[in-house]
């Protein structure tokens, strides 16, 4: 693989990774809205700024939490 092909492949992988992260964030926001109703700006921002580890934790917590604070830890 030459350097151009390698750069193209790296770019594609970065794009896929970013797309998956955005999809996870949107799914979590949808789940939170369905479970707890309208979200405030701070809660939306918290999800939008979350890294992969935090998103994974939030996604697990939403299943059993009784409040959005219990999901987002705040």
Please state, in angstroms and rounded to a whole number, the distance separating the CA atoms of residues 54 and 57.
5
- Measured in whole angstroms, how far is the alpha carbon of residue 61 from the centre of its chain? 13
Structural domain tally of the chain? 1
Token pair, residue 35, equals: 């479970």
Per-residue pLDDT tens over the stretch 6-54: 888 888 888 877 888 899 999 999 999 999 999 999 999 999 999 989 9
Q: pLDDT per residue over 19-31, tens digit each?
A: 888 999 999 999 9
pTM: 0.80
Burial class, 61, CB count within 10 angstroms (exposed 0-12 / middle 13-18 / buried 19+) = middle
**Residue 29, token pair as written in the block:** 């926001």
Range of the domain at 62: 24-74
- Asked if the structure places residue 17 within a domain, the reply is no
């Amino acid at each position: 693989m030459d350097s151009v092909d390698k750069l193209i492949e790296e770019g594609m992988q970065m794009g896929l990774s970013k797309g998956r992260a955005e999809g996870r964030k949107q799914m979590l926001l949808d789940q939170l809205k369905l479970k707890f109703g309208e979200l405030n700006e701070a809660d939306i921002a918290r999800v939008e700024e979350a890294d992969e580890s935090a998103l994974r934790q939030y996604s697990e917590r939403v299943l059993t939490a009784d409040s959005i604070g219990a999901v987002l830890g705040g």
